[in-house]
Structure 1
């Protein structure tokens, strides 16, 4: 079984897929070492590690190079966060996804947010992109490559539930493998989506939304923590660096 098929199958096993989000090689190797079964990159964490904010501000080749390094050095499947595709041109987005697949990535998150303005891509426009992505992947022998269609309705709409379900259904009909709804938090709404959308649902960890077992009971198939771990690491680094300057002493670096 190749890694693409292995990763797809993880969304349909008895266990919820708990995805470890990495932002560089060290974080990826650490997540693999402690037992995560698959890795998803975090665009926020990668950007932050390079001193940039999130939002496709990294040159795509540089972003691809970081992910390629991760893929080449871990044994577990790696899915890539490519935001909205690093372009507004559909052919360039398709090419970017194929280049990700070429370096060994097994899937992507691709969102429907606009990057140069506030708002979401129209449903038909995004469905067209998803359909053409699937055709291109299949034509290049990347069958079952996992397209995790992210919708940002919960970040951009006042009452997002029904639009989320409508978008999710349309995206699945347009060959998305699964649906990712960051910002979704209420248990009743999670259940509503899993009951009405015939594809694996990925939710993002948030305060109060943290337990894999509870999410599995609601029908969630995939759970990720985005930039939460990378932010925690950065905060720990800043705290310890601040203490070095404040006390002019390195003793705390050796405390267990």
Structure 2
């Protein structure tokens, strides 16, 4: 079974797909060892690893190199977060998607946020991009490659629920395999989105939205924690480094 097939099956299982979000090879290997059935990269974490803020501030090739290192060294399927595609030009975005597929990932996250200004891509423009993307993937040997269409309606829109449902339906009709809605936290609204959009619904962990079993009960089929884990690791490193300098004592390194 190919990784693409395996990844698709994880979305149709009776179990919620709980992704482990990795930001470098070591984190991916440890998440796999812990038992995560699939890895999702976090663009925020990868950017921080390279000393940059999130938001397509790093060269795409550097981002892709970390994704490739992860994919080549874990045995579970990998989904790559490539933000909005690292370009505003459709052909370049599609080329970046194909490059990402070529390193062996089973799927991608692609968001509809604009990077050079506030707001979201027009629905018709994003749908056209998704349709071209699906055709290009099919024609290049990546049939059923998982396109997780992220919509940032809850991060940028005043009419989040209605626009989410409208965009999600349009994106699925244009070739998206699943819908990712960061910021969607209200249980009733999650139920409405999941019952309306007949594909996998991915939500993002935030304080108060953390339990896989509860999420499964209200229709969520895919759950990820984004940069929360990498942020926690960075904070731990910073805290310990500060204590090492302040105390001039390495005893803390041997406490587990």
Q: How many residues align?
A: 256
Residue 211 (structure 2) pairs with residue 242 (structure 1): no
Q: Residue in 2 aligned with 1:122? A: 122
The SS at the match of 1:115 is coil
Match of 2:200 in 1: 200
Deviation at 1:158, TM superposition (A): 2.3
Find the counterpart in structure 2 of residue 140 from structure 1. Answer: 140
> In structure 1, what is the equivalent of residue 47 of structure 2?
47
Q: Structure 1: how far apart are the matches of 2:101 and 2:108?
A: 9
What is the rounded CA distance, in whole Å, between the counterparts of 1:158 and 1:116 in structure 2? 20
Shift of 1:221: 0.6
Aligned to 1:183: 183
Match of 1:109 in 2: 109
Gaps of at least 5 residues in structure 2 are none
Partner of 2:99: 99
Once the two structures are TM-superposed, the CA of residue 159 in structure 1 deviates from its matched residue by: 3.0
- Report Cα offsets for 1:58-88 as digits up to 9, x if no partner: 1011111111011011011011000000001
Give the secondary-structure state (helix, strand or coil) at the position aligned to 2:12. coil
* Secondary structure at the counterpart of residue 179 of structure 2: strand
TM-score (norm 1): 0.99
Partner of 1:228: 228
1:9-64 CA distances to partner (integer Å, 9 max, x unpaired)?
Answer: 10010100000000000000000001000000000000011110000011011111
Instruction: Extract structure 1 runs of 4+ deviating beyond 2 A.
Output: none
- Paired with 1:9 and 1:252, the residues of 2 have a C-alpha distance of 44
CA distance in 1, matches of 2:99, 2:63: 11
Q: TM-score, normalised by structure 2?
A: 0.99
Counterpart CA distance in 1 for 2:174 and 2:198 is 12
Q: How far 1:109 sits from its partner (Å)?
A: 0.2
Which runs of 5 or more residues in structure 1 are unaligned?
none
- Partner SS state of residue 11, structure 1: helix
Q: CA RMSD in A?
A: 0.6
Q: Secondary structure at the match of 2:19?
A: strand
SS in structure 2 of the partner of residue 183 of structure 1: coil
Match of 1:14 in 2: 14
Write the deviation string for residues 102-144 of structure 1: whole angstroms up to 9, x where unpaired.
Answer: 1101100000000001000000000000000000000011001
- In structure 2, how many angstroms separate the alpha carbons of the residues matched to 1:159 and 1:188? 15
Q: Following the alignment from structure 2 to structure 1, what is the Cα–Cα distance between the partners of residues 136 and 63?
A: 21
Match of 1:78 in 2: 78
